[in-house]
């Protein structure tokens, strides 16, 4: 068996065997297969696709390419939640706080952001001294004490995926459903959770632009999760406009605090957090049905239980809890300005990807893995899709420390807003729920 034969086989549209996929993943992990050969096979997969048998095999071997966490030191079932990523997506800290306040235990391992979609670890790192790098024994203790942990993925968790993703990112092979599914689910399987809720985004601010394609990805990942013995469901949600009003790390943490304190300004963000929490409660058997689960999750938010749990998480992981009580203590950008509407009407559309890229330009994200993030920078949207606007009214504001980028940031935000005379139709928040 050799890699050239495997590349030729997939190039010609044939199904790879479990042994061939295992050989490929092993060679990726050890470095015995050259990057240009990995690239060739990835491109063949992008063009010809994979069968479900191949995808399940690839996911299994990627998951076992490093350590597989078991969490035997934690009593009870462990829940996990994953979002396929989007602009302003800050659901994880809210959902973790809600469901663990309701008695479900969660170990949530997330990645850093790269490109125009932000990472949960970057947002949490905007809280002074918040640690995301505890070892497994420490995580066991934290979860046993307060029921929750949010941290970064360890280097030895699905290392084959890290190698493959770095190559996919620079070879035009990111947007492949088999490769996306195996990448996400290999990490979820290796993370050791018993139940998993997937938030699969669809729209201009997500990797999957089309709701039908997002649904295919969601169904595939649910099948993989269930086959691996993880109770899995997926919710396909809209990402045609930024989720919430803030885009940028400290700005998003401030919005998270507002929601947890009952000061939500964005109904879509609030609703999706409650919906995702409800499905975790259902899979955890903390609720009889969706209506019951929604009520329980909403009660945790409105009663202040979820905020107190977030406070506990920040405190347990070394963060400065004073910021949760006084958001003025968060870092503040030097240059903050308003974007003014030039006409009356309704917000028809906000170019989600453009807002993400403007936030990146302001300093809130990274293009390369080694880039340093400015936690204070980003964009705050005062008007969302469907809102009425008057000429001269503030529609958004920018936050940056990059004076040389201010003009480009201003024109970019203004250009992302499309204002028309007629009020647009409401876009559904949830396209599909897959639970088997």
Which amino acids are annotated catalytic? 82, 161, 168, 183, 187
Question: d(Cα 224, Cα 218) in Å, to the nearest integer?
Answer: 10
Hey, what are 212's tokens? 């039908």
Give me 157's structure tokens. 């968790």
Residue where the block lists tokens 């807002």: 355
- 3-state SS of the chain is CCHHHHHHHHHCCCCCCHHHHHHHHHHHHHCCCCHHHHHHHHHHHHHHCCCHHHHHHHHHHHHCCCCCCCCCCCCCCEEEEEECCCCCCCHHHHHHHHHHHCCCEEEEEECCCCCCCCCHHHHHCCCCCCCCCCCHHHHHHHHHHHCEEEEECCCCCCHHHHHHHHHHHCCCCCCCHHHHHHHHHHHHHHCCCCEEEEEEEECCCCCCCCHHHHHHHHHHHHHHHHHCCCEEEEEEEECCCCCCCEECHHHHHHHHHHHHCCCCCCHHHHHHHHHHHHHHHHHCCCCCCHHHHHHHHHHHHHCCHHHHHHHHHHHHCCCCCHHHHCHHHCCCCCEEEEEECCCCEEEEEECHHHHHHHHHHHHHCCCCCCCCCCCCCEEEECCCCCCEECCCCEEEEEEECCHHHHHHHHHHHHHHEEEECCCCCCCCCEEEEEEC
User: Helix crossing, 249-260 with 305-316: angle to 10°?
Assistant: 140
CB 116 within 8 A of CB 87: yes
Contact 415, 351 (CB under 8 A): yes
CB–CB of 379/355 below 8 Å? yes
């Amino acid at each position: 068996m050799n890699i050239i034969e495997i590349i030729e086989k997939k190039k010609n549209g044939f199904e790879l065997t479990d042994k061939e996929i295992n050989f490929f993943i092993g060679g990726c992990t050890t470095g015995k297969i050259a990057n240009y050969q990995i690239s060739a096979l990835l491109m063949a997969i992008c063009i010809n696709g994979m069968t479900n048998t191949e995808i399940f095999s690839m996911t299994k071997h990627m998951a076992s390419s490093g350590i597989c966490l078991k969490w035997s030191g934690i009593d009870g079932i462990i829940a996990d939640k994953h979002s396929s990523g989007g602009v302003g997506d800050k659901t994880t800290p809210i959902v973790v706080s809600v469901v663990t306040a309701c008695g479900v235990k969660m170990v949530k391992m997330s990645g850093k952001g790269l490109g125009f979609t932000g990472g949960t670890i970057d947002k949490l790192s905007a809280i002074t001294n918040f640690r995301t790098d505890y070892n497994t024994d420490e995580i066991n203790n934290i979860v046993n004490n307060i029921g929750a942990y949010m941290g970064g993925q360890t280097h030895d968790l699905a290392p084959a995926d890290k190698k493959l993703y770095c190559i996919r990112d620079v070879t035009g092979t990111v947007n492949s459903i088999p490769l996306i599914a195996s990448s996400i689910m290999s990490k979820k399987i290796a993370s050791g959770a018993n139940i998993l809720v997937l938030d699969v985004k669809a729209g201009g601010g997500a990797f999957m632009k089309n709701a039908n394609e997002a649904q295919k990805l969601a169904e595939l990942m649910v099948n993989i999760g269930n086959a691996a013995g993880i109770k899995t469901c997926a919710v396909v949600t809209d990402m045609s406009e930024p989720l919430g009003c803030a885009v940028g790390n400290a700005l998003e943490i401030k919005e998270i605090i507002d929601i947890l304190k009952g000061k939500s300004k964005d109904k879509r963000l609030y609703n999706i957090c409650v919906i995702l929490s409800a499905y975790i409660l259902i899979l955890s058997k903390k609720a009889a049905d969706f209506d019951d689960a929604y009520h329980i999750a909403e009660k945790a938010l409105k009663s202040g239980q979820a905020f107190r749990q977030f406070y506990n998480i920040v405190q347990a992981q070394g963060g400065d809890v004073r910021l949760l009580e006084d958001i003025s203590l968060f870092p503040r950008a030097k240059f903050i300005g308003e974007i003014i509407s030039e006409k009356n009407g309704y917000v028809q559309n906000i170019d989600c990807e453009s807002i993400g890229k403007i936030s990146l330009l302001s300093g809130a994200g990274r293009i390369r893995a080694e880039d340093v993030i400015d936690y204070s920078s980003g964009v705050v949207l005062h008007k969302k899709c469907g809102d009425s606007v008057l000429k001269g009214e503030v529609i958004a504001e920018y936050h940056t420390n990059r004076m040389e980028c201010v003009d480009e940031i201003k024109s970019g935000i203004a250009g992302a807003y499309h204002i028309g005379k007629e009020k647009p139709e409401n876009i559904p928040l949830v396209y599909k729920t897959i639970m088997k």
